[in-house]
Amino acid sequence: MGNKTKRALAVAAAVGVALPLLAGTATAAQGRDEHGEFVNASGHVKYEVHLPPAYQPGRQLPVVVALHGCLMSGYLSNSMRDTSRFNEVADAKGFIVVYPTQDPLRNLAGCWNATKPEHEHRGSGEPSLVAGATQDVVCDYHADPKRVHVVGASSGAGMAVIMAVTYPDVYASAASLAGGEYAFDKVDPKDPDRVTPVDTAKLAYAEMGPRARQVPMLVEQGDADTTVPPVMADRLVSQWAALDDLAVDGQLNGDVDDVPDATEHVANPGEHPYTHTSFTARGGGAPLIEKYLVAGLAHKWPGGGKGRYADPMGPNISSIMWDFFATRSLP
């Protein structure tokens, strides 16, 4: 690994794998919003729930939990709601969106503390708050508990990965936009090869414990991102492939690897071109990992709202993520 990559990793570590992804101005046209708060011994988290027009009592809809990046909120100013425009996708496709907001007392910059060890474990810290809010929404709105998914941007992406590791029995699948691997704080940016993605995969597998399972993961990354460099996405894919391999029988024996099984290059008019790779188990089946590397995209949300850190040019990654989530459910 060259010095340039090591310097880029050092920058990513210094900012906690996060950059402000500020909001656009798009709002839901038809659905309605409600608010809640979850409290436990680790603190509290406030959240907004977007209910699509398809919502009605007794109908079990899927849920997407969307975690914002630094200097953002879930649903107020500089929001994940407006940046991602998930409400528009939810209204069209019929799912519930949850936008938790970080408590500034836990992080003044509004980052999720995804690179702090005390927030990497089940039953405590921020994972317990996000999971608790998620389960309250599922209960309160009679959502489908087998079709709950989590996505994050930047520091929120790091937390989304943590949620997939700590609560694989709650989240059917996960997505990371410009984020990093589980336990990235164990990696020395000056010598990143010393702790490999396989090493951090073993930590993730240990954290999963008896709940270990293959959690489908979508990884999105801009190749012009200088805050979270593309090597972070490469490491996440390698970690997740090793974790999926371990989840089968506790051994690294090639059940899943980080060699793409399919690759397509997409260039739609008016959008950034991108390369889509997918990774399946040795025995076949639906892809366990999908990666979207977007050409010319900086540390922004492609197809997002009008905010400074949303790139309206596309592709519409929110729709792509939903298509990924829509085919996944808990066993």
Is 145 inside a domain boundary?
Answer: yes
Residue 99's DSSP bridge partners are 48
- When pLDDT is cut at 50, 70 and 90, the band that residue 128 belongs to is very high
**Distances 55 to 52, 74, 85, 142, 323 between C-alpha atoms, Å:** 6, 21, 18, 10, 19
Question: Residue 282 contacts by C-beta under 8 Å, 6 or more apart in sequence?
Answer: 254, 255, 256, 257
CB count within 10 Å of CB 181 equals 28
CATH for 276 = 3.40.50.1820
Mean pLDDT value of segment 26-55: 89
At 8, is the pLDDT very low, low, confident or very high (cuts 50, 70, 90)?
Answer: very low
| 139, pLDDT greater than 90 | yes
pLDDT of 202-250, one tens digit each? 999 999 999 999 999 999 999 999 999 999 999 999 999 999 999 999 9
331 part of a folded domain: no
pLDDT at 17: 42
Look at residue 79 and tell me if it is in a domain: yes
What pLDDT, on the 0 to 100 scale, is given for residue 58? 86
Q: How far is CA 200 from the centre of its chain?
A: 17
The pLDDT of residue 264 is above 80: yes
Question: In this predicted structure, what is the pLDDT of residue 114?
Answer: 97
Would you say residue 254 lies in a domain?
A: yes
| Pick from 178, 154, 160, 164: nearest CA to 291 | 178
User: pLDDT at position 307, please?
Assistant: 67
Percent of the chain with pLDDT over 70: 91
Amino acid at 208: M
Is pLDDT of 24 > 60?
Answer: no
Tell whether 215 is covered by a domain: yes
Pull the structure tokens for residue 308.
Answer: 């400074």
Report the number of distinct structural domains present in the chain: 1
Q: What integer best gives the mean pLDDT of the chain?
A: 92
Quick check: is 195 in a domain? yes
Q: Do the domain assignments include residue 176?
A: yes
Question: Alpha helix locations (H) across the chain?
Answer: 3-14, 80-84, 86-93, 125-140, 155-166, 197-208, 230-249, 317-326
Task: Identify the pLDDT of residue 317.
Answer: 98
pLDDT of 67 over the 80 cut: yes
CB-based burial of residue 129 (10 Å sphere; 0-12 exposed, 13-18 middle, 19+ buried)? buried
Do the Cβ atoms of 131 and 63 come closer than 8 Å?
no
Domain that holds residue 59: 3-326
Strands, DSSP E only, in the chain? 32-40, 43-51, 63-67, 96-101, 148-153, 173-177, 217-222, 262-266, 274-279, 289-294, 301-302, 310-311
101 in a domain, yes or no?
yes
Locate 92 and state its tokens.
Answer: 């069209």
pTM across the whole model: 0.92
pLDDT at position 11 is: 41
pLDDT in tens, 273-318: 999 999 999 999 999 999 999 999 999 999 999 667 899 999 999 9
